């Protein structure tokens, strides 16, 4: 574009950008919850001698894994 010109998005451009943004948000949140689930599983592994720590790690891993899948379905 030449200097002084501005870009005016059309209705079609807006819907394409919103879809890409939503898909990226779902993917990013899914990755975040997978990392949290892995940290929970690691906590479960490292805290194996104490049942409360292992159970908390297991609960974090299960909840985060479930949220990871749910987020992918919500933002898909």
Distance CA 43, CA 66 (A): 17
Asked whether residue 4 is domain-assigned, the answer is no
Q: Does 21 fall in a domain?
A: yes
- Per-run averaged pLDDT (10 residues), the chain, 76 residues: 68 57 86 95 91 93 95 88
* Residue 50 DSSP symbol: S
Structure tokens at 31: 């990755």
Write out the residue range of the structural domain in which residue 56 sits: 16-74
Please tell me the predicted confidence (pLDDT) of residue 15.
Answer: 55
Asked if residue 67 is part of any domain, the answer here is yes
For residue 49, which phi and psi values (nearest 5 degrees)? -75, -20
């Amino acid at each position: 574009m030449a200097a002084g010109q501005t870009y005016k998005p059309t209705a079609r451009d807006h819907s394409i950008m919103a879809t890409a943004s939503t898909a990226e948000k779902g993917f990013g949140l899914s990755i975040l919850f997978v990392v949290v689930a892995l940290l929970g599983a690691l906590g479960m592994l490292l805290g194996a001698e104490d049942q409360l720590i292992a159970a908390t790690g297991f609960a974090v891993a299960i909840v985060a894994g479930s949220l990871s899948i749910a987020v992918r379905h919500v933002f898909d």
